[in-house]
């Protein structure tokens, strides 16, 4: 089981940039999913990515927003790049206290 580093995102624009980079390096993503028990998005990266200093990470969601986040994440999995509105919608679901 992976240890996930908690990351925080300051803006929808930053999230969008991060999602673009992540999807461009899709071959290094082992899995990306929403943990409904902990209301968390978890990204498990490849062993190679981990070896080169890119840890697996998680982003905390607002309580009760897992279903909405999961729908966005599932759409992102089929795309080469995020649409800006998806990044904005996902950002508003994150717990960015």
Provide the total of helices (H) and of strands (E) in the chain, helices listed first: 4, 4
53: left (phi over 0), alpha (psi -120 to 50) or beta: left
Residue 96, domain member (yes or no): no
Contacts with 20 (C-beta within 8 Å, 6 or more apart), sequence order = 81, 82
Positions of the chain with pLDDT under 50: 1
Residue 66, domain member (yes or no): yes
Residue 25, domain member (yes or no): yes
Residue 40, domain member (yes or no): yes
Which structural domain, as residue segments, surrounds residue 50? 5-91
Residue 58, domain member (yes or no): yes
Counted domains in the chain: 1
Give the model's pLDDT for residue 97: 77
Give the model's pLDDT for residue 2: 66
Give the model's pLDDT for residue 73: 97
Q: Mutual orientation of helices 84-91 and 66-76 as an angle, nearest 10°?
A: 160
Residue 83, domain member (yes or no): yes
CA separation for the pair 70, 40 (Å, rounded): 10
């Amino acid at each position: 089981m992976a240890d996930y580093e908690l990351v925080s995102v300051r803006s929808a624009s930053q999230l969008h940039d991060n999602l673009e980079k992540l999807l461009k390096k899709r071959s290094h993503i082992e899995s990306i999913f929403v943990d409904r028990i902990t209301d968390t998005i978890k990204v498990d990266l490849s062993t190679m990515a981990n070896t080169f200093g890119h840890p697996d990470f998680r982003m905390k969601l607002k309580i009760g927003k897992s279903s909405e986040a999961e729908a966005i994440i599932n759409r992102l999995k089929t795309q080469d790049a995020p649409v800006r509105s998806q990044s904005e919608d996902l950002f508003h679901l994150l717990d960015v206290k």
